[in-house]
Amino acid sequence: MNLENYCLSPADLKDKISSLKAIVLVHMFGHPADMEPILATCDGIPVIEDCAQSLFGKYKGTYTGFLSGYSFFSFRSGKYISAGEGSALFLKDPSKIES
């Protein structure tokens, strides 16, 4: 964990990337993760943004949820958008999802 933003540590990711097939990265408390080094380290490995705690959060001028190819927002009680249950999934290229 990066203690500056409570998100995934890019340095820690570098140590573990060889054993990963995808990353689910949480933007915590309105603080986006440091996406540039994370995306550079992943280099083709899917990065999925969990944006439930970062509604309207921005990283270098871009809203969270639009920084990678995949993102979701959950609406369970206790989240910024509390609708009881449910979520929204956003995909830049839906053809990459296997059935």
Domain ranges of the chain: 10-92
Taking only Cα atoms into account, the Rg of the chain, rounded to an integer number of angstroms, comes to 13
Compute the average pLDDT of residues 92-96: 77
How far, CA to CA in Å, does 43 sit from each of 20, 31, 40, 47, 56? 12, 23, 5, 10, 26
Q: What is the pLDDT of residues 47-81, one digit of tens each?
A: 999 998 888 899 999 999 999 999 988 877 666 66
- pLDDT averaged over the chain? 86
Among the four given CATH numbers 2.60.40.10, 3.30.450.20, 1.10.357.20, 3.40.640.10, the one describing domain 10-92: 3.40.640.10
State the number of CA atoms in the 13 A half-sphere of 56 facing the CB.
2
Distance CA 53, CA 27 (A): 6
